[in-house]
A and B are shown apart, each in its own frame.
Chain A
Amino acid sequence: MTLSTTSNFADPDAAYRLIVEAHRGLSDEQSAALDAALVLTLANHIGDLGVLREAVELAKRGVVGEG
């Protein structure tokens, strides 16, 4: 399996909104902790080390740029 980056939600705005609302009212530190827990939960749901590795690479390119 490879990482799917096509849009999978019928209503992507609703998915984004759900995550935004999960963070409302949290401190910055609590938000970081929520994100960490979310990442681990969703990674387990995917259950594929190859896909997870691709996702990590995609996300990391955006944060640290292309080597």
Chain B
Amino acid sequence: MAPAAFGYRRHPDQDRHDPARHPVVVVGAGPVGLSLSIDLAQRGQSVVLLDDADRIGEGSRAICFSKRSLEVWDRLGVADRMLDKGVIWQVGKIFLRDAMVYRFDLLPESGHKMPAFINLQQYYAEAFLLDRVQQLPAIDLRWRNKVTGLAQHNDHAVLTIATPDGEYRLAADYVVACDGARSALRGLVGAEFEGEVFEDQFLIADVKMQAEFPTERWFWFDPPFHSGQSALLHRQPDNVWRIDLQIGADADAAVERQPENVRPRIERMLGHGDFSFEWISVYKFQCRRMQRLLHSRVIFAGDSAHQVSPFGARGANSGLEDGENLAWKLDLVLRGKAGAALLSSYDVERGQAADDNIRASTRSTDFIAPHSAQERRLRGAVLQLAKEADFAKRMVNAGRLSVPSVYDSPLSTPDAEAWAGGPKPGASMIDAPLARTDGAACYLSDAFVAAGRGFTLLHAANGAALPDGVGEIRIGRDAPLRDNAGHFAQRYDASPGAAYLLRPDGYVAARFKQPTPAALDAALARARGQA
């Protein structure tokens, strides 16, 4: 796909002597900044979105988008296009040399609106998000606006912005830095970026070809075509295939990325030369994060705040989760309905998620690129044992793929009763198939959107009185939604009267077997950061 270019346009804010004041400025129109801006706009906020470039479409970059990300995008009205274009998959296979040692299925049960994963070039995701942005007049997107300065004040921040017409300043109640791994704002707040840099290098080639491989994630340790190293093959739309070859710490990246040097490697893998290159890159991976995601009036989300290796698809997906976690909180704060405690829960929750993602990604990367002869032997033993021992299959680690984070959160009300199943407070809601009274099929995730994407009481009929301003999903024989197949009851351990209080990001704030109004009010206040 050719890069799509967008024009710079001078904005009246640039002619002002004193900086114009906006409630929120989002910096960076990548997947995270675009999604966050859409979310804020759908909640009624006006957003200024800045980007230092004027184009998208350079390289496939992120390609694996998780079920959770698709659920977020569904709420933002863009999931259908992603699904139509994307390649749906859920099975992964791991090979040692030429023999399969392990197969995993990321979504073995049915009754979910969204699949486990889609593969989609990042430029498609960005293009679909941009189309959605164009439908929302509340988003003021300014290309070739590069943040070069920051001044923090008690109740706002002032950005200095370089444009083709020179510099101007903008004031904002809050600035959200979605400006990627090389974040300028991270430098401007003077934050450290702490963690581990891995020495091993990986060659990523996206090749276009006609191929009959199944739509699965295939990973090799020590394959015959790339001895002693690892390899990954994964399908994208448009007959493009992601190939990722480990090339070691000593490889010369400038030499390795030359197409004439990449070609023989790919020919050895495929057994033919009938392909063309879409994108070639040589990577070293880093697993690191900022200590704090909140720096006074500047809030960090996505790669600007944390980075992981790609084995696990935890980069873009965790960034999208950051955005969803932040959007509703920032909205309530900007409306004066919540205070600093709610925003600090973003730092707590998404900080935990960053730690989880870094832990999982570090383990995978260390397994794929062992640090020492001993680690190589240990891994060899696991792979060898995995041929006949189940326990060793479970230790084979070619990437643990992104699942929604579970928060140990100050916003959660701990269970007071014993539950046999269902998502705990701090966990993300689980989808389930339902039916409307006219018999039409729908999903719980649709009902959540229909209920308004605010705080929502999900309850099995006989339910409780609804606190003010809380949406409702009522399920039962005499309710607007039916659980004919029993999946909701099973997935939520929902006996008659049971109720889940869902946050605007679909996370469980509290749950009760028989809620009382007082208990619901208390849980709601706590989930708004007021307790």
A and B form one complex: yes
Residues of A within 8 A of B (CB): 4-9, 12-13, 15-17, 19-20, 23-24, 26, 28, 31-32, 58-59, 61-63
Minimum distance in angstroms from B390 CB to a CB of chain A: 5
CB contact between B373 and one of A5, A28, A58 (< 8 Å): that residue: A28
Q: A9-B391, A12-B394 are in contact. List 16 more A-B contacts (CB 8 A).
A: A5-B389, A5-B391, A6-B391, A17-B363, A19-B378, A20-B366, A20-B375, A20-B378, A23-B372, A23-B374, A26-B374, A28-B373, A32-B374, A58-B389, A62-B381, A62-B387
24 contacts between A and B (CB under 8 A): A5-B389, A5-B390, A5-B391, A5-B392, A6-B391, A7-B391, A7-B394, A13-B360, A13-B400, A15-B395, A16-B363, A16-B382, A17-B363, A20-B375, A23-B375, A23-B378, A24-B371, A31-B372, A31-B373, A31-B374, A32-B374, A58-B385, A62-B381, A62-B384
Residues of chain A within 8 A (CB-CB) of B400 are 13
Question: Which residue of the partner chain A has the closest CB to B380?
Answer: A62
Question: Which residue of the partner chain A has the closest CB to B373?
Answer: A28
Minimum distance in angstroms from A9 CB to a CB of chain B: 8
* A28 & B389 in contact (Cβ 8 Å cutoff): no
B397 part of interface (Cβ distance < 8 Å): yes
* B374 & A12 in contact (Cβ 8 Å cutoff): no
Q: Which of B347-394 contact A (CB under 8 A)?
A: 360, 363, 366-367, 371-375, 378, 381-382, 384-385, 387-394
Q: Taking each of B374, B375, B388, B395, which has the highest tally of chain A beta carbons within 10 Å of its own beta carbon?
A: B374
Minimum distance in angstroms from A60 CB to a CB of chain B: 11
Interface residues of B, CB < 8 Å — how many?
25
6 residue pairs, one from A and one from B, having the closest CB atoms: A62-B384, A5-B389, A31-B374, A12-B394, A7-B394, A7-B391
Minimum distance in angstroms from B94 CB to a CB of chain A: 14
Residues of chain B within 8 A (CB-CB) of A7 are 390-391, 393-394
Roughly how many angstroms separate A60 CA and B395 CA in the complex, as a whole number?
19
Q: Which of B385-435 contact A (CB under 8 A)?
A: 385, 387-395, 397, 400
Helix, strand, loop or mixed for chain A's interface? Answer: helix
Minimum distance in angstroms from B466 CB to a CB of chain A: 38
Roughly how many angstroms separate A5 CA and B397 CA in the complex, as a whole number?
18
* A12 & B390 in contact (Cβ 8 Å cutoff): no
Q: Which of B58-117 contact A (CB under 8 A)?
A: none
Residues of chain B within 8 A (CB-CB) of A16 are 363, 367, 378, 382, 395, 397
Roughly how many angstroms separate A12 CA and B360 CA in the complex, as a whole number?
12
Question: Which residue of the partner chain A has the closest CB to B393?
Answer: A7
Residues of chain B within 8 A (CB-CB) of A17 are 363, 366
Residues of chain B within 8 A (CB-CB) of A13 are 360, 363, 395, 397, 400
Roughly how many angstroms separate A56 CA and B378 CA in the complex, as a whole number?
16
Assuming the contacts A13-B363, A13-B395, A13-B397, asked whether A28 and B374 have C-beta atoms less than 8 A apart, the reply is: yes
Residues of chain A within 8 A (CB-CB) of B394 are 7, 9, 12
Q: Taking each of A8, A23, A59, which has the highest tally of chain B beta carbons within 10 Å of its own beta carbon?
A: A23
* A6 & B390 in contact (Cβ 8 Å cutoff): yes
Roughly how many angstroms separate A32 CA and B66 CA in the complex, as a whole number?
41
Residues of chain A within 8 A (CB-CB) of B374 are 23, 26, 28, 31-32
* A5 & B372 in contact (Cβ 8 Å cutoff): no
Assuming the contacts A17-B363, A20-B375, asked whether A8 and B391 have C-beta atoms less than 8 A apart, the reply is: yes
Assuming the contacts A13-B363, A62-B381, asked whether A5 and B388 have C-beta atoms less than 8 A apart, the reply is: yes
Roughly how many angstroms separate A31 CA and B389 CA in the complex, as a whole number?
24
Roughly how many angstroms separate A7 CA and B395 CA in the complex, as a whole number?
9
